[in-house]
Amino acid sequence: MATDITGELDAWRALPALQQPEWDDTGELAAVAAALAKQPPLVFAGECDQLKEELAAVARGEAFVLQGGDCAETFDGSTADAVKNKLKTLLQMAVVLTYAASVPVVKIGRMAGQFAKPRSKPTEVRDGVELPAYRGDAVNGFDFDAGSRRNDPWRLLQAYHCSAITLNLCRAFTKGGYADLRQVHAWNQDFVAQSPAGQRYEQLAAEIDRALTFMKACGANPDEFHGVEFYSSHEALLLEYERALTRVDHLSGLPYDVSAHFLWIGERTRQLDGAHVDFLSRIRNPIGVKLGPTTSADDALALMDKLNPDGEPGRLTFVTRMGAGKIRDALPSLIEKVTQHGSPVAWVCDPMHGNTWEAASGHKTRRVDDVLDEVAGFFEVHQALGTHPGGIHIEFTGDDVTECVGGGHEIAEDDLHQRYETACDPRLNRGQSLDLAFMVAELYRK
Ligand code: PEP
Ligand code: MN
């Protein structure tokens, strides 16, 4: 008997769905969902399967994930320059890791779809005025006025279009010559003179150049040197959007969410009997779940059984976000029980979300030292248990913002206002991101 795939894909509608915006007019929402359902896919099932294979290699200990981008992408930020700067930084970090740690790097952008945010409070108060919280450009506007903060379902369609624009740029940059390894210096040109991280990178780029010249002289010039595989990802938060972009693949007859290659469930929406876990259990993309410091080993095992009952390699990634002070205590028992369970999991460290605090100026910030310490703790725990530290998941931008304190340029708390541009959480800037890549490469070699 044929299974009713459509019915299964809508099973989440009967379950509690946290963090969903309330729309004034559900007729409008239905019209938007119908319009989205007619749009072309942003990614293809075959690409998602290829990423799944690469993540299977990560789970086996043979590759490393570099996943990153803005906390919240914005429609205004979908420009060629902003996308290029982010990609450039991601490529530089990936080259540092590939060369200095000698490990294949799976490159996944928190890009081309990261337009929706879960919020800890439904409203925001400023100078005595209370308005709905900003939930990401896919839902409402960042500006603090009643008109802008109104939830507007048509923004979902705009999120789709901005995702298409961004992904098109990413595909063009990574396949059209810009990601060619002979460009290692070019990615750094505007950066080298101004920063210690840029100078350190330049030395490594010179070594890569020599290695490339040597290999060319030997007659080796493989395709892999001329472009990279790049994958898109975002938090699968708005279920109407994800459902409307889920299609049954003609070849396999299986459903894929074609809004991104990789989708993850956030820390706030990973309830075992909730709508998000149900929906993601039914699509065939590779998926992730964020695990915060209160996660019990039993929670993790139950998520494995629900999201990857067949133990498919590469299907499930756990993204831990414990906080620098907690990771060394909280992570070991999770890893031990998950390893005993036997089903493959890729472990990725998000060193950002457990380390956020508010500066006296009111800016949300993170200390680069805490970020580095959480990554160091992640490596220590895995190395002690003989398991594989499979990757990092970070919030960063290619611009020289001042959102996280510390780092090579020593951004002080008093400097935060200078270039504080994030629409949500504080991001590492380019120098801070490169410093992190160098540190991870050193930890990896140990
Ligand atoms: C995020 O990734 O921006 C986020 C909200 O993370 P978490 O679900 O881990 O809190
Ligand atoms: Mn964030």
ipTM entry: 0.99
What's the CA gap between 320 and 103, in Å, rounded?
21
**pTM of the model as a whole:** 0.97
Give the max Cα distance, the chain: 70
Taking only the tens place, the pLDDT of each residue in 153-198 is 999 999 999 999 999 999 999 998 889 988 888 888 887 667 888 8
Burial (CB < 10 A; 0-12, 13-18, 19+), residue 439, is middle
Whether ligand 1 lies within 6 angstroms of the CB of 47 is answered as no
Q: Which of 395, 425, 427 has most ligand 1 atoms within 8 Å of its beta carbon, as the pocket-test mutant? A: 425
Whether ligand 1 lies within 6 angstroms of the CB of 321 is answered as yes
User: In this structure, what is the dihedral angle of CA atoms 108, 89, 115, 107, given to the nearest 10 degrees?
Assistant: 0
pLDDT at residue 281 above 70? Answer: yes
| Residue of 369, 366, 442, 371 lying closest to 403 (CA atoms) | 366
Please give the backbone phi and psi of residue 78, each rounded to the nearest 5 degrees, phi first: -85, 55
Residue 3 banded pLDDT, cuts 50, 70, 90: low
Taking only the tens place, the pLDDT of each residue in 101-122 is 999 999 999 999 999 999 999 9
* Cα-to-centroid distance, 425 and ligand 2 (Å): 5
The tokens for 393 are 């998941």
Taking only the tens place, the pLDDT of each residue in 333-345 is 999 999 999 999 9
The tokens for 119 are 């919020």
Nearest CA to ligand 1 atom 3: 71
Per the annotation, does 71 bind a ligand?
yes
Residue 333's identity, in one-letter code, is: S
**pLDDT value for 1:** 42
Answer yes or no: are the C-beta atoms of 334 and 290 closer than 8 Å.
no
Whether ligand 1 lies within 6 angstroms of the CB of 70 is answered as no
**pLDDT value for 26:** 81
Mean pLDDT of 286-299: 98
Mean pLDDT of 352-373: 97
